[in-house]
């Protein structure tokens, strides 16, 4: 019974569809939590509203744009500086927000005049700012205020301003996810292609779905600068309004948060033929992989390797220090959705931690496909979790740490469990190499801090200490405070004694730590002896069973002797077994198989695996279009990974390698398309 009904949900049994515990041998064709559907009445969801998804997550990040919220004042305040996305221009976006401050009279008589007045006032207050976003909210949408004509009037009157209208009231969808969608599609239709950016490098990209949480974007920008790659638009971390209007001029879309911004990446591919490469920007190994993909796309692998070598030399030993102390620690990840799949393997592979429970506020089934493919058996996967479920799951899995937001974090703290802010971070950035170390440091500090242990104790009772000095003002006497201090010191000593203090030299840079690119590491050859010698003779017979034999051997088929047919069967099952190994690896590591729609998944599976076959067999790889190069970049990383992990590959005939990859295609299409339980695969609209 892998779908699980928690005790606390007995009165809302529908919750069973949303909670899954992975068991051995299962994949997402058997079980996939229901997701991105209305919250069940009675379940205290922690989701945000759709307007919030557009304003707080995406639009509000821009550093040069007036954010005007047409509605009551709370809609503006509650989506203002609650998120920590700095910019390099003095944090304009964190300092200011505008509201039309709607009141009852406007609800009764209409708010359009009020909106126009507010827009003109806002531009007048900041005469240097010529860009604005106007958002509708529940109240203005319900009374039917017609925003666009007002926007046109203001644009006409002022002449030199550009305004984007976001019509996504709080009730537009089941969660903030709808706001992402509306913003993406609106920007694509209204604004992309209306501005020509200055091109300063032969290598141009958009970075899509990164919001500069505590400086993440700055880290990525530095890597790209070192590689000589120009970021045309960063959607939307540290971004400007006009740079996002020029997104059509990039050669590649590097997509991080596919949930909030996969839509615009897909539209740019459909309309302008710009390929999309998905990356995981958190985690040491993933950071290497992302840079290598961009390097491969542009043929500047050496530059990517140079950045990797420099960063690894700086941060590897620090990460190792934390790994030693975090290995085996159990962690929960309870955030929006994508960070579940971005982080689970990164924490396990980089730091040896064990991810025991994951909860997604608003992820779609696509996000669960990704996270379940990457996640461990026995891990609990929850969609749209409620507070009582959180308490129950903590009891079940007994984690050492929870990565979640401050609201749920406060609940967790009441149980004297440490939490680290998985949304806005404790002390970021968390992206890239330095970010992986920062994140490890915050988790280490949280887990090993004595505070949570101390919080459980009532030291007054234990030590029989008076709590006041008798004057009724609640001040402890000097003597008493000294006793308290020494008691706390004692407990701190006990709590930390199990951990060695970080030796200074341990966190210093070890320049000798060398980073070897995967393609350079030549694995020892290991032949599958009983099969290999038969390979040549038997290869043709594989054809009818696997649809997968290299075409050039077909003409010999008739000449094969009967006993060879038996051998061929063995070969075929050998191929199938190897294909299953490769499929498992791809399921865990590759994001291209999980794009939002069936056609896109099939296109990627065929495109990447065809190129992988060409690379592995030494054939010429045709790179005519940008889309070809996109497939090639993903294929190159995969081919290198396969060669390292699967020694049998190096001893195979080319025709067999092709047969394996053909079989992999079939298996993947089965899992992520034909048998997929993802209800959105065939939606025509993104």
Residue 339 binds to ligand CFM (criterion: CB under 6 A):
yes
Closest CA to 315 of 199, 181, 223: 223
Residue 165 binds to ligand CFM (criterion: CB under 6 A):
no
Q: Residues 661, 609: contact at Cβ < 8 Å?
A: yes
Which of 290, 338, 432, 607 binds ligand CFM (CB under 6 A)? It is 338
Return the number of the residue (184 or 543) whose C-beta is nearest ligand CFM.
184
Return the number of the residue (283 or 518) whose C-beta is nearest ligand CFM.
283
Return the number of the residue (115 or 287) whose C-beta is nearest ligand CFM.
287
Task: Tell me the closest approach of the beta carbon of residue 567 to ligand CFM, in angstroms.
Answer: 51
Binding segment toward ligand CFM, per CB under 6 A, in 29-37, 337-345, 651-659, 671-679: 337-345
Output the CA–CA distances (angstroms, integers) from residue 535 to 528, 556, 642, in the order listed: 10, 14, 20
Euclidean distance between CA atoms 216 and 434, whole angstroms? 10
Torsion of CA 58, 60, 63, 66, to 10 degrees: 130
Strand partners, 586: none
x/- string (CB under 6 A) for ligand CFM, residues 352-391? ---------x------------------------------
Using CB under 6 A, which residues numbered 78 to 97 contact ligand CFM? none
Which of 295, 336, 385, 630 binds ligand CFM (CB under 6 A)? It is 336
Return the number of the residue (292 or 339) whose C-beta is nearest ligand CFM.
339
Euclidean distance between CA atoms 378 and 395, whole angstroms? 15
Output the CA–CA distances (angstroms, integers) from residue 132 to 60, 88, 169, 301, 379, in the order listed: 10, 19, 18, 40, 45
Which of 260, 344, 541, 655 binds ligand CFM (CB under 6 A)? It is 260
Binding segment toward ligand CFM, per CB under 6 A, in 90-98, 256-264, 583-591, 601-609: 256-264
Q: Residues 161, 123: contact at Cβ < 8 Å?
A: yes
x/- string (CB under 6 A) for ligand CFM, residues 6-25? --------------------
Return the number of the residue (58 or 605) whose C-beta is nearest ligand CFM.
58
Cα angle 654, 660, 665 (rounded to 5 degrees) comes to 125
Q: How would you class 517 by CB atoms within 10 Å of its CB: exposed for 0-12, middle for 13-18, buried for 19 or more?
A: middle
Residue 230 binds to ligand CFM (criterion: CB under 6 A):
no
Cis peptide bond upstream of 519, omega within 30 = no
Which of 118, 174, 213, 304 binds ligand CFM (CB under 6 A)? It is 213
Residues comprising the chain, all counted? 686
Return the number of the residue (260 or 541) whose C-beta is nearest ligand CFM.
260
Q: How would you class 256 by CB atoms within 10 Å of its CB: exposed for 0-12, middle for 13-18, buried for 19 or more?
A: buried
Q: What is the dihedral sign for C-alpha 596, 630, 640, 234? A: negative
Binding segment toward ligand CFM, per CB under 6 A, in 90-98, 323-331, 335-343, 558-566: 335-343
Which of 21, 32, 35, 57 binds ligand CFM (CB under 6 A)? It is 57
Task: Tell me the closest approach of the beta carbon of residue 176 to ligand CFM, in angstroms.
Answer: 5
Q: Pull the structure tokens for residue 114.
A: 């009020």
Task: Tell me the closest approach of the beta carbon of residue 450 to ligand CFM, in angstroms.
Answer: 28
Give the residue nearest to ligand CFM (CB). 336
Euclidean distance between CA atoms 428 and 61, whole angstroms? 17
Q: How many chain residues touch ligand CFM (CB under 6 A)?
A: 16
Strand partners, 205: 231, 252
Residue 63 binds to ligand CFM (criterion: CB under 6 A):
no
Binding segment toward ligand CFM, per CB under 6 A, in 92-100, 330-338, 436-444, 569-577: 330-338
Binding segment toward ligand CFM, per CB under 6 A, in 208-216, 282-290, 464-472, 624-632: 208-216
Residue 67 binds to ligand CFM (criterion: CB under 6 A):
no
Which of 337, 418, 432, 607 binds ligand CFM (CB under 6 A)? It is 337
Which of 6, 183, 211, 631 binds ligand CFM (CB under 6 A)? It is 211
Using CB under 6 A, which residues numbered 598 to 637 contact ligand CFM? none
Using CB under 6 A, which residues numbered 421 to 440 contact ligand CFM? 423
Q: Residues 323, 350: contact at Cβ < 8 Å?
A: yes
Strands, E, within 84-145: which ranges? 98-99, 131-136
Which of 118, 257, 312, 347 binds ligand CFM (CB under 6 A)? It is 257
Residue 283 binds to ligand CFM (criterion: CB under 6 A):
no
Using CB under 6 A, which residues numbered 166 to 195 contact ligand CFM? 176
Q: Residues 617, 658: contact at Cβ < 8 Å?
A: yes
Q: Residues 440, 319: contact at Cβ < 8 Å?
A: yes
Return the number of the residue (59 or 337) whose C-beta is nearest ligand CFM.
337
Strands, E, within 410-457: which ranges? 419-421
Residue 343 binds to ligand CFM (criterion: CB under 6 A):
no
Binding segment toward ligand CFM, per CB under 6 A, in 138-146, 282-290, 331-339, 492-500: 331-339
Q: Residues 296, 637: contact at Cβ < 8 Å?
A: yes
Binding segment toward ligand CFM, per CB under 6 A, in 61-69, 164-172, 255-263, 370-378: 255-263
Return the number of the residue (197 or 283) whose C-beta is nearest ligand CFM.
283
Task: Tell me the closest approach of the beta carbon of residue 209 to ligand CFM, in angstroms.
Answer: 6
Q: Pull the structure tokens for residue 281.
A: 């920007």
Burial 292-326 (b: 16+ CB within 10 A, else e): bbbbbbbebbebbbebbeebbbbbbbbbbbbbebb
Strand partners, 164: 133
Return the number of the residue (276 or 636) whose C-beta is nearest ligand CFM.
276
Residue 234 binds to ligand CFM (criterion: CB under 6 A):
no
Q: Residues 346, 333: contact at Cβ < 8 Å?
A: no
Q: How many CB atoms lie within 10 A of CB 475?
A: 13
Return the number of the residue (53 or 173) whose C-beta is nearest ligand CFM.
53
Residue 259 binds to ligand CFM (criterion: CB under 6 A):
yes
Cα angle 618, 623, 629 (rounded to 5 degrees) comes to 100
Distance from the first to the final alpha carbon of the chain: 33
Residue 404 binds to ligand CFM (criterion: CB under 6 A):
no
What residue ranges bind ligand CFM (CB under 6 A)?
53, 57, 176, 209, 211, 213, 257, 259-260, 335-339, 361, 423
């Amino acid at each position: 019974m892998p779908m699980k009904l928690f005790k606390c949900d007995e009165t809302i049994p529908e919750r069973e569809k949303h909670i899954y515990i992975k068991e051995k041998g299962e994949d997402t064709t058997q079980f996939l939590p229901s997701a991105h559907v209305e919250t069940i009445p009675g379940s205290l969801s922690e989701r945000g509203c759709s307007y919030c998804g557009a304003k707080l997550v995406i639009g509000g990040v821009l550093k040069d744009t007036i954010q005007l919220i047409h509605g009551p004042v709370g809609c503006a305040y509650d989506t203002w500086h609650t998120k920590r996305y700095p910019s390099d221009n003095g944090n304009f976006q964190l300092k200011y927000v505008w509201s039309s401050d709607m009141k009852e009279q406007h609800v009764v008589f209409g708010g359009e005049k009020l909106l126009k007045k507010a827009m003109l006032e806002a531009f007048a207050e900041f005469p240097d700012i010529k860009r604005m976003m106007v958002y509708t909210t529940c109240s203005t949408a319900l009374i039917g205020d017609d925003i666009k004509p007002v926007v046109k009037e203001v644009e006409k009157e002022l002449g030199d301003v550009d305004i984007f209208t976001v019509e996504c009231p709080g009730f537009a969808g089941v969660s903030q996810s709808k706001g992402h969608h509306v913003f993406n599609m609106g920007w694509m239709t209204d604004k992309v292609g209306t501005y020509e950016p200055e091109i300063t490098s032969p290598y141009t990209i958009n970075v899509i779905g990164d919001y500069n949480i505590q400086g993440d974007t700055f880290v990525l920008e530095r890597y790209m600068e070192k590689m000589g790659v120009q970021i045309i638009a960063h959607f939307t971390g540290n971004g400007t309004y006009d740079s996002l209007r020029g997104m059509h001029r990039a050669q590649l879309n590097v997509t991080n948060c596919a949930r909030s911004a996969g839509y615009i990446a897909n539209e740019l591919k459909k309309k302008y033929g710009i390929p999309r490469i998905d990356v995981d920007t958190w985690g040491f190994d993933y950071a290497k992989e992302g840079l290598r993909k961009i390097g491969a796309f542009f043929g500047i692998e050496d530059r990517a390797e140079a950045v990797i070598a420099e960063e690894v030399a700086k941060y590897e030993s620090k990460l190792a220090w934390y790994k030693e102390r975090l290995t085996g620690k159990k962690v929960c990840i309870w955030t929006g959705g994508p960070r579940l799949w971005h982080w689970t393997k990164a924490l396990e592979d980089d730091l040896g931690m064990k991810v025991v429970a994951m909860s997604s506020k608003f992820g779609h089934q696509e996000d669960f496909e990704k996270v379940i493919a990457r996640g461990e058996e026995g891990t609990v996967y929850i969609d749209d979790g409620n507070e009582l479920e959180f308490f129950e799951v903590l009891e079940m899995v007994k984690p050492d740490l929870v990565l979640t937001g401050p609201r749920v974090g406060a609940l967790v703290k009441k149980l004297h469990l440490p939490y680290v802010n998985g949304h806005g971070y404790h002390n970021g950035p968390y992206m890239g190499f330095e970010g992986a170390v920062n994140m490890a440091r915050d988790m280490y500090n949280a887990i090993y801090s004595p505070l949570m242990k101390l919080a459980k104790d009532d030291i007054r009772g234990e030590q029989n200490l008076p709590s006041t000095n008798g004057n009724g003002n609640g001040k402890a006497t000097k003597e008493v405070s000294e006793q308290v201090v020494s008691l706390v010191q004692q407990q701190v000593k006990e709590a930390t004694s199990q951990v060695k203090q970080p030796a200074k030299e341990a966190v210093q840079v070890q320049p000798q730590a060398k980073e070897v690119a995967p393609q350079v590491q030549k694995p020892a050859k290991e032949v599958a002896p009983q099969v290999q010698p038969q390979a040549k003779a038997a290869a043709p017979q594989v054809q009818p069973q696997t649809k997968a034999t290299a075409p050039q051997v077909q003409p010999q088929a008739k000449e094969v002797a009967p006993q060879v047919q038996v051998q061929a069967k063995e070969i075929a099952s050998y191929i199938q077994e190897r294909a299953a190994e490769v499929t498992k690896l791809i399921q865990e590591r590759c994001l291209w198989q999980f794009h939002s729609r069936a056609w896109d998944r099939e296109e990627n599976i065929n495109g990447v695996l065809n190129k992988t076959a060409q690379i592995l067999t030494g054939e010429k790889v045709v790179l005519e279009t940008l889309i070809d190069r996109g497939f090639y970049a993903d294929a190159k990383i995969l081919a290198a990974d396969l060669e390292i992990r699967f020694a049998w590959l190096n001893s195979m005939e080319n025709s067999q390698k092709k047969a394996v990859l053909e079989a992999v295609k079939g298996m993947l299409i089965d899992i992520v398309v034909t048998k997929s339980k993802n209800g959105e695969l065939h939606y025509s609209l993104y």
